[in-house]
Amino acid sequence: MKTFLLAIVLAAPALAGEPLATRIAHTDPSKYRSAPRIHGGAGELRFMGLFDSKTLETNLIFLHRGVLPPGGGIGHHFHHQMEEMFVIFDNAAQFTIDGRTSLLEGPAGAPCKMGHSHAIYNHTDKPTQWMNIAVGSVRGRYDAEDLGDDRVGVTIDPKPVFTHMRLDSKLLRPVTASHGGKGTVRYRRALRPEMFRTNWGYVDHLVIPPGASEGLHRHDFMEEFYYVINGHGQVTVDKETAEIGPGDAVPVRLREAHGFYNHAQQDLELMVVGITLEKGKFDTTDLGDSMAGGK
């Protein structure tokens, strides 16, 4: 199964020299591949690779997007040189961290620190929309140790005893002129830097209302990717602008100026993952362009 996972990771295209519209990865269920008993888990997982270890210059290993069918899951396993986070966007799933299992309802996620164990299982009778993000301590190096445990029928803690996040719009706070942008967006840092041991910096939740924007800015010591949870809008990276919609993932490399504008009639909801060149080294330079009206 490890070989299968690595094949999926390496299947995502490299970014070098590609136009912005080509660089943006699109979730496409027709391209999902079926993988049974991943890490000794129950049932199957259906997924595709959106990004691989060549997508960014920092230590992102992969971004996977797929679905956990009813009775499907990923078995209990360790990573000794990397960190992962399973995210669900709807329905529910049983998350396990270090052998303790709790039910989380989507949209939610649980990071697993390097050297700790984790698993996930869809105990419901409906499919669960799922994502997996992996960041390594060594660029491009994947490792896993399976524990032969599918986590089916285990004891469920009524309250999680592990770090987790909820992508709940009710938790967001207003931010006016974000990075010099137009209007007021809603924002929250869902996971902070100290919750990770690798150079994984944070996970942010951002909602840009119609007519509002996040202004043009850049990072010299960290990279990001933006995943569109809901809505439509425009993204500008350096001098290129492209349309984005649900299921799109936008990679932003070192020193690339980037901003977002919502020209649609509904909120543009984004999950933002930041990865640094060095642990704890963050920077942002606003460039004085509101992105109002797009490009």
Angstrom distance (rounded) from CA 291 to CA 286? 12
Alpha helices in the chain (DSSP H): 2-11, 20-23
Q: Are 222 and 279 in contact (CB under 8 A)?
A: no
Is 21 in contact with 242 (CB distance < 8 Å)? Answer: yes
Residue with token string 């207003």: 174
CATH number for the domain including 107?
A: 2.60.120.10
157 and 200 assigned to the same domain: no
Tell me: do 126 and 184 sit in the same domain.
Answer: no
Span 256-284, average pLDDT:
97
Note whether 162 and 180 are same-domain residues: no
- Please check whether residues 39 and 141 belong to one and the same domain: yes
Residues 213 and 261 in one domain: yes
147 and 76 Cβ atoms separated by less than 8 Å: yes
Same domain, 264 and 142: no
First to last CA, the chain: 45
Distance of alpha carbon 236 from alpha carbon 260, whole angstroms: 6
- What is the spatial distance between Cα 96 and Cα 153, in angstroms, rounded to a whole number? 12
Contacts of 96 (CB under 8 A, 6+ apart): 76, 117, 118, 119, 120, 121, 151, 154
Find the domain containing 266 and state its range. 169-286
Tens-digit pLDDT profile for residues 214-255? 999 999 999 999 999 999 999 999 999 999 999 999 999 999
Residue 120 is assigned to a structural domain of this protein? yes
Average pLDDT, the chain: 94
What integer is the mean pLDDT of 129-138? 97
Q: In this structure, are 177 and 48 located in the same domain?
A: no
- Per-residue pLDDT reduced to its tens digit, 8-59: 443 444 455 689 999 999 999 999 999 999 999 999 999 999 999 999 999 9
90 C-beta neighbours (distance < 10 Å), count: 13
Residues 179 and 34 in one domain: no
Q: What band does 292 get if pLDDT is binned at 50, 70 and 90? A: confident
Question: Are 135 and 211 members of one domain?
Answer: no
Answer with the one of 166, 197, 226 that is the final residue of a domain: 166
pLDDT value of residue 81 = 96
CA–CA dist 259, 42 (Å, integer): 41
Q: How far apart are CA 158 and CA 120, in angstroms?
A: 16
* Reported pTM: 0.94
> What pLDDT, on the 0 to 100 scale, is given for residue 247?
98
Same domain, 93 and 25: yes
Q: What is the pLDDT of residues 85-115, one digit of tens each?
A: 999 999 999 999 999 999 999 999 999 999 9
